[in-house]
């Protein structure tokens, strides 16, 4: 036994301590428990992974039987690790630790009682870590689902952290409701898996997956995989369920970095990669995954080009990059997808944390139009963001270059068309990220605040992440994952690499041209392509379409039929009916309880007489 | 010539006094009249106890009941300056339902007594001498020692309770 | 012609009938009177009626136990009178009435 349970137990303990007693602690103590628990967890991950290596097969620890019903249903509280898990564990706890440290600086100046809910923030963050680690460590689908729902809950709590802001609570509810749709699909998939395989344990399910008849593979497995993809689309913000993620930026920036960029949103990719043995038998489902991924990547990238809120830009970038990961999974390059999960966690966490640093420096300003020229005022932030932007644009030998390259090569192997669309998207990615960078740091300062560099607790995690963004690609994840997920398609064509690098550089150049060299050019373009620009700027009116097609009918139907009709008419009618019948009966019985002692005595006497009469008629006590 | 049935005559006279006093108790509207009637009932019952051989109980009946308790009643009547009841304005449920039920109760009780108790047995004065103070005292301090001691606690509680209840609140 | 001559020994049932009559009169007092004090006295009357039964059966069984019970009933009656009259005093102080029908709200 390697005591895997300790990995999630540390953050859980941190959550309990801060959640229960945090109100009485000083900020220093809260930070100590919160950061300490995650760091301990990280250290324990490193220790266990070194102890268990080489991890080529699933190592499982069984703790207790969680649910046992009948002969078939037997679900244990089992945790397991293999190489796939190890990557996720290191990313979650490592980046989680950095972001926790960062957050102690970022949240230090919250106004309001209890330092603006400082302890609440960190207890939620610890709780999130706990559920995320359960999700990653789970050895069966149901336990994975527990973590899945748990991180959803924490996401909801943290998006709505500033609960006095209506937009924040609305965004939290939106995230929660949209995730319900995905989770509905996921739970159906779990039922299907159980019906088909009689178990939910990964090992048992995957062992049986290969030996099934063709028609089963075509039918049940495909359906299962499509439903799993519905779940993944909800959690990982894919078309058509991506709408919640941009709104989720209402949460504090460390939350955006940790939950909505680095870890939780990649849970869908992890789940698909984990279910690779199933997906491998469902080519149709894989095609769907790839198409959804590609569609999401393109759509989010176009929207990202027009946004003015720095966090919104990065949010659409996240959606787009998640699309890349699904593209990788869909074309069978799961290891490339996980590779990108890791590198994306590095540079996207850095982008968000850097954005947070900028926002922190500008006292809450998020609009790119009110920034500019910050290069000299906050140089550390600028340098780190520069690293991240290079990485995401695919500059050679940065981490983003390595993983994106793997994905594009695999896509080309599957279908050249996908490769070209991916390259165009990469170009757009470079464009909007550098657009944000130029608008923020170059030109003339257009705001009114007095920027100041952030303290060391903020810049230190930025520095570490910047290093990882540049050099993180040299952790050769695909090679490490080969025993688990199989070999990625070969065929390193230098021409493909050059094309993708060139696409990135073109994107950077265009951004420079539009926003540094010729600042008037964007407006000209926007005017010339007014219709298209309005469409993209308003995010293709997807929110409005959902509102008109789904939300409005549901709300109206609920209001007229369910509320006015059923609830008021039937439910209230029954309830009120019960009430008035009770009152009527009570009114009759009430006269007996008038409080008059003599009436009580008379009734007691009546009772005595009746007893005597009964005794007399039954013959008495002989 | 038959001897004079002195026991029966005494019983009938005392029973007549007791029932008459009890009826008076119920009929009178002024509490002080009722209280005096109750004293009459109790004294006639004391003599009946004597006829049944209860010397000690007869004495206690006169001293404790007719003496102490009734004095307490009279004292409270005096203290509260209780007057006669006001005439009743309407027939209450307890009266309307009570009187017929009461008659039914009495007839049921009489039915059981006449059916269950053999009429042949009779009470004559001196037929039982086990109720002397000596006999009662022996029983109280041997077989009934524990209940007897417990009554002292009961009375203590009653004293404290009465004081607490009747005490004027100290502001 | 029925025999109206009195028996030499008084039948037990006579005593018991007397007890029953007194008890019934006690209940009647409870039900008919509205003065709390009179109601209380009716209760005492009922206790006395029961005492008579105890003593009568003690005679019949030639045992002293009935007397002991009567003794205890008297003790209880004394304690009850003390507490009961104190309660009446308190009620009168709070309500300025001795009408039992007006004390019917089960609270002060």
Closest Cβ opposite residue B25 in set C10, C45, C67: C45
Given an 8 Å threshold on Cβ–Cβ distance, is A595 in contact with C106?
Answer: yes
Q: Name the residue facing B94 among A598, A608, A613 (closest C-beta).
A: A598
pLDDT of residue A347: 92
Using the predicted structure, report yes or no on whether residue C2 has a pLDDT greater than 80.
no
Tokens of A131: 């559920």
Burial B35-60 (b: 16+ CB within 10 A, else e): bbbbbbbbbbbbbbbbbbbbbbbbeb
Interface contact A620, partner B, CB < 8 A? yes
Of C27, C30, C104, the CB nearest to A595: C104
Token readout for B24 is: 């008076």
The number of residues in chain A equals 622
Q: What distances in angstroms separate CA A168 from CA A177, A247, A262, A368, A425, one per listed residue?
A: 14, 8, 21, 20, 30
Domain residue ranges of chain B, discontinuous segments joined by +: 6-131, 132-171
Note whether C50 and C66 are within 8 A (CB): no
C-alpha separations of C17 from A299, A442, B102, C108 in Å: 105, 117, 15, 41
**Does the beta carbon of A611 lie under 8 angstroms from any beta carbon of chain B?**
no
Q: Please, where are the H alpha helices in A202-282?
A: 202-209, 214-216, 222-235, 244-247, 253-257, 267-274, 276-279
Interface size B-C, in CB pairs within 8 Å, comes to 253
What are the structure tokens assigned to A234, written together?
Answer: 């909800």
- pTM for the model stands at 0.66
**Cβ separation of A601 and C31 shorter than 8 Å?**
yes
Amino acid A370: pLDDT:
84
Q: Does A73 touch chain B (CB under 8 A)?
A: no
Residues 66-105 of C with CB under 8 A from A: 100-101, 103-105
Contact between B93 and A599 using a beta-carbon 8 Å cutoff? yes
CB count, 10 Å around CB of A280?
Answer: 20
CA distance B107 to chain C (A): 9
Query: ipTM of the assembly?
Result: 0.89
Q: Inter-chain contact C30–A598, Cβ cutoff 8 Å? A: yes
Q: Report yes or no: A604 at the B interface, CB cutoff 8 Å.
A: no
Are A310 and A368 a contacting pair, CB within 8 Å?
yes
Q: Is B49 left (phi over 0), alpha (psi -120 to 50) or beta?
A: alpha
- SS3 string, A441-467, reads HCCCCCCCCCCCCCCHHHHHHHHHHHH
Q: H-helix or E-strand containing C11?
A: strand C10-11
Neighbours of chain B (3+ CB pairs under 8 A): A, C
Q: What is the pLDDT of residue B36?
A: 93
List residues of chain A with CB under 8 Å from any CB of chain C: 594-598, 601-602, 605
Do the Cβ atoms of B108 and A605 come within 8 Å?
Answer: no
What pLDDT score was predicted for residue A518?
80
Structure tokens at B31: 């509490």
Cβ distance C66 to B136 under 8 Å? no
**Residue A594 to chain B, least CA–CA distance (Å):** 11
Could you say which of A598, A606, A620 has the minimum Cβ distance to residue B92? A598
CA distance A98 to A356: 14
pLDDT of residue B156: 94
Cα–Cα dist A348/A345, whole Å: 5
| Backbone torsions φ then ψ of A66, nearest 5 degrees | -85, -55
CATH number for region B6-131: 1.20.120.1200
Nearest residue in chain B measured CA to CA from C12: B122
CA distance A343 to A471: 10
- The rounded distance, in Å, linking the Cα atoms of A476 and A269 is 18
* Six token digits for residue A285: 């489902």
Burial class (CB in 10 A: 0-12, 13-18, 19+), A543: middle
Q: How far apart are CA A107 and CA A31, in angstroms?
A: 10
Yes or no, beta carbons of C92 and B127 under 8 Å apart: no
Query: Are A394 and A504 in contact, with CB atoms under 8 Å apart?
Result: yes
Asked, as a colleague might, if the bond just before A514 is cis with ω within 30 of 0, I would say no
B11 → closest Cβ in C14, C33, C85? C14
Q: HSE-up of A563 (CA within 13 Å, CB side)?
A: 7
Contacts of B104 in chain A (CB under 8 A): 609, 613
Q: Find, in chain C, the residue whose alpha carbon is nearest to that of B100.
A: C28
Helix (H, G, I), strand (E, B) or coil at A271: helix
For residue B3, pLDDT beyond 80: no
Q: How near does any CA of chain C get to the CA of A600, in Å?
A: 10
Residue C10 host element (H or E): strand C10-11
pLDDT tens profile B41-78:
999 999 999 999 889 999 999 999 888 999 999 998 99
The span from the CA of A484 to the CA of A487, in Å, is: 9
The pLDDT value recorded for residue C68 is 94
Q: Which two structure tokens, joined as six digits, stand for A558?
A: 């609920």
Long-range Cβ contact pairs of A109-117 (< 8 A, separation 24 or more): A114/A23, A115/A27, A117/A161
User: Is pLDDT above 60 for C108?
Assistant: no
Find chain C residues with C-beta within 8 A of B77's C-beta. Answer: 37
Residue A514 has what DSSP assignment?
Answer: I
Contact residues, chain A, for C30 at CB < 8 Å: 598, 601
Q: Which string of b and e fits A168-187 if b means at least 16 CB within 10 Å?
A: bbebbebbbebbebbbebbb
Chain A residues whose CB is inside 8 A of the B92 CB are 596, 598-599
- Residues, chain B: 171
pLDDT on residue A94: 93
Chain B nearest CA to C46, separation (Å): 10
Mutation target for B interface from C9, C76, C93, C102: give the one with most B CBs within 10 A.
C9
CB atoms within 10 A of CB A549: 10
Interface test with C, best of B154, B165, B169 (most C CBs within 10 A): B165
- Mutate: best of A594, A597, A608, A609, partner C, most C CBs <10 A: A597
For residue A609, the distance in angstroms to the closest alpha carbon of chain C comes to 12
Coil, helix or strand at residue C4: coil
Distance between CA atoms of A246 and A258, rounded to whole angstroms? 15
Is the CB of C25 inside 8 Å of chain A's CB atoms? no
Mean pLDDT, chain A cut into blocks of 10 residues (622 residues total): 89 92 86 92 92 84 87 87 91 93 87 76 93 93 94 92 89 91 92 89 86 76 92 90 89 89 91 91 90 92 89 92 92 90 93 90 84 85 91 89 88 88 92 90 81 85 91 85 74 80 89 83 80 80 82 84 83 90 87 77 88 82 54
Question: Between chains, do A597 and C100 touch, taking CB under 8 Å as contact?
Answer: yes
C61-81 burial by CB neighbour count: b if 16+ within 10 A, else e? eebbebbbbbbbbbbebbbbb
Q: What is the rounded distance in angstroms from the CA atom of residue A142 to the CA atom of residue A202?
A: 10
Question: Which residues from C are below 8 Å from A596, CB to CB?
Answer: 100-101, 104
Q: How far is B119 from chain C (nearest CA, A)?
A: 6
| Residue B120 pLDDT | 65
Suggest the residue from B85, B91, B101 to mutate for an interface test with chain A (most A CBs closer than 10 A): B101
Record: contact A605-C27, CB cut-off 8 A: yes
Q: What is the pLDDT of residues B85-138, one digit of tens each?
A: 777 777 777 788 888 888 988 988 888 888 887 766 788 888 888 889 999 999
Pick from A601, A609, A620: CB nearest B94: A601
Beta strands in A10-131 (DSSP E): 59-69, 73-81
Of C102, C52, C15, A598, which is closest to residue B99 (Cα–Cα)? A598
Contact B94 A612 (CB under 8 A): no
Chain B residue numbers with beta carbons less than 8 Å from the beta carbon of A605 are 98, 101-102, 105
Please report residues of B whose CB lies closer than 8 A to that of A616.
108, 111-112
Domains of chain C, by residue range, sit at 34-96
CB proximity list for B141: less than 8 A, separation 6 or greater: B148
Q: A233 and A300 in contact (C-beta within 8 Å)?
A: no
Q: How many angstroms separate the CA of residue A602 from the nearest CA in chain C?
A: 7
> Using CA atoms, how far apart are residues A316 and A351, in angstroms rounded to an integer?
12
Question: In the complex, which subunits touch C with 3 or more CB pairs below 8 angstroms?
Answer: A, B
Burial of A617 (0-12, 13-18, 19+ CB in 10 A): exposed
Helix residue ranges, H only, chain C: 12-32, 36-61, 65-95
Q: In this model, does residue B8 exceed pLDDT 60?
A: yes
| Mutate: best of B30, B95, B166, partner C, most C CBs <10 A | B166
Q: What is the pLDDT of residue C45?
A: 94
- Asked if residue A352 lies in contact with residue A293, where contact means CB atoms within 8 angstroms, the answer is no
Under DSSP, is residue A604 helix (H, G, I), strand (E, B) or coil?
helix
C102: closest chain A residue by CA: A596
Of A599, A608, A609, the CB nearest to B94: A599
**A-B contacts at Cβ under 8 angstroms:** 39
């Amino acid at each position: 036994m390697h005591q895997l349970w300790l990995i999630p137990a540390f953050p859980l303990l941190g959550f309990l301590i801060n959640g229960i007693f945090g109100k009485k602690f000083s900020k220093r103590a809260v930070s100590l428990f919160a950061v300490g628990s995650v760091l301990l967890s990280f250290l324990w991950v490193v220790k266990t992974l070194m102890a268990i290596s080489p991890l080529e097969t699933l190592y499982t620890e069984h703790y207790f039987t969680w649910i046992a019903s009948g002969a078939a249903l037997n679900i244990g509280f089992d945790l397991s690790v293999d190489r796939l898990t190890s990557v996720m564990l290191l990313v979650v706890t490592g980046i989680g630790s950095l972001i926790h440290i960062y957050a102690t600086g970022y949240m230090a100046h919250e106004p309001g009682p209890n330092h603006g809910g400082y302890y609440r923030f960190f207890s939620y963050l610890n709780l999130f870590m706990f559920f995320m680690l359960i999700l990653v460590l789970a050895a069966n689908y149901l336990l994975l689902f527990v973590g899945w729902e748990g991180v959803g809950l924490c996401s909801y709590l943290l998006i709505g952290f500033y609960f006095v802001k209506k937009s924040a609570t609305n965004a939290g509810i939106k995230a929660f409701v949209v995730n319900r749709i995905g989770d509905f699909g996921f739970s159906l998939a779990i039922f299907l898996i159980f019906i088909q395989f009689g178990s939910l344990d990964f090992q048992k399910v995957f062992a049986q997956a290969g030996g099934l008849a063709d028609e089963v593979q075509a039918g049940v497995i495909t359906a299962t995989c499509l439903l799993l993809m519905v779940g993944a689309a909800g959690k990982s913000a894919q078309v058509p369920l991506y709408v919640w993620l941009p709104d989720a930026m209402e949460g504090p920036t460390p939350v955006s970095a940790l939950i909505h960029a680095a870890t939780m949103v990649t849970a869908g990719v992890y789940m698909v990669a984990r279910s690779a043995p199933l997906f491998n038998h469902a080519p149709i489902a894989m095609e769907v995954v790839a198409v959804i991924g590609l569609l999401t990547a393109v759509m989010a990238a176009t929207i990202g080009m027009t946004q003015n809120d720095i966090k919104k830009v990065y949010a659409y970038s996240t959606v787009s990059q998640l699309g890349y990961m699904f593209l990788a999974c869909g074309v069978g390059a799961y290891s490339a997808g996980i590779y990108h999960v890791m590198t994306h966690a590095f540079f996207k966490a850095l982008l968000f944390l850097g954005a947070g640093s900028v926002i922190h420096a500008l006292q809450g300003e998020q609009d790119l139009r009110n920034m500019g020229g910050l290069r000299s005022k906050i140089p550390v932030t600028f340098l780190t963001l520069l690293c991240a932007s290079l990485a995401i644009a695919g500059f050679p030998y940065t981490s983003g270059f390595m993983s994106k390259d793997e994905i594009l090569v695999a896509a080309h192997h599957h279908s050249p068309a996908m490769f070209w669309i991916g390259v165009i998207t990469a170009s757009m990615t470079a464009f909007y990220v550098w657009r944000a960078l130029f608008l923020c740091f170059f030109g003339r300062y257009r705001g009114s605040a007095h920027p100041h560099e952030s303290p060391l607790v903020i810049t230190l995690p930025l520095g570490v992440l910047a290093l990882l963004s540049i050099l993180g690609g040299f952790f050769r994840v695909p090679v490490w994952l080969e025993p688990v997920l199989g070999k990625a398609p070969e065929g390193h064509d230098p021409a493909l690499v050059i094309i993708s690098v060139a696409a990135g550089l073109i994107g950077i150049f265009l951004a420079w041209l539009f926003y540094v060299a010729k600042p008037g050019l964007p407006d000209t373009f926007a005017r010339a392509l007014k219709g298209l620009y309005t469409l993209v700027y308003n995010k293709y009116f997807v929110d409005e379409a959902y509102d008109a097609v789904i939300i409005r009918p549901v709300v109206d139907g609920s209001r007229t039929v369910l509320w006015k009709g059923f609830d008021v008419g039937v439910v209230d009618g029954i309830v009120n009916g019960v009430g008035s019948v009770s009152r009527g009966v009570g009114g009759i019985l009430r006269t007996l309880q008038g409080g008059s002692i003599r009436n009580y005595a008379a009734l007691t006497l009546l009772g005595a007489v009746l007893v005597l009469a009964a005794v007399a008629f039954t013959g008495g006590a002989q | 010539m038959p001897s004079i049935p002195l026991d029966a005559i005494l019983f009938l006279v005392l029973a007549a006094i007791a029932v008459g006093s009890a009826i008076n108790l119920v009929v009178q509207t002024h509490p002080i009249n009722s209280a005096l009637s109750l004293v009459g009932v109790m004294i006639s019952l004391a003599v009946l106890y004597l006829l049944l051989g209860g010397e000690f109980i007869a004495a206690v009946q006169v001293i404790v009941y007719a003496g102490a308790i009734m004095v307490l009643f009279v004292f409270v009547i005096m203290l509260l300056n209780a007057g006669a009841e006001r005439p009743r304005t309407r027939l209450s449920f307890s009266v309307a339902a009570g009187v017929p039920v009461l008659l039914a109760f009495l007839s049921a009780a009489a039915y059981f007594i006449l059916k269950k108790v053999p009429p042949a047995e009779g009470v004559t004065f001196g037929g039982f001498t086990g109720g002397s103070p000596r006999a009662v005292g022996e029983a109280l301090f041997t077989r009934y020692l524990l209940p007897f001691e417990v009554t002292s606690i009961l009375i203590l509680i009653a004293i404290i309770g009465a004081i607490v209840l009747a005490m004027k609140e100290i502001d | 012609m029925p025999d109206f001559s009195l028996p030499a020994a008084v039948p037990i049932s006579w005593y018991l009938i007397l007890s029953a009559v007194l008890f019934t009169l006690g209940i009647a007092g409870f039900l008919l009177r509205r003065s709390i004090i009179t109601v209380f006295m009716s209760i005492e009357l009922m206790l006395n009626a029961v005492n008579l039964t105890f003593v009568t059966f003690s005679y019949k069984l030639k045992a002293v136990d009935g007397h002991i019970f009567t003794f205890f009933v008297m003790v209880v009656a004394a304690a009850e009178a003390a507490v009961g009259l104190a309660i009446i005093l308190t009620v009168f102080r709070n309500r300025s009435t001795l009408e039992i029908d007006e004390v019917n709200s089960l609270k002060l």
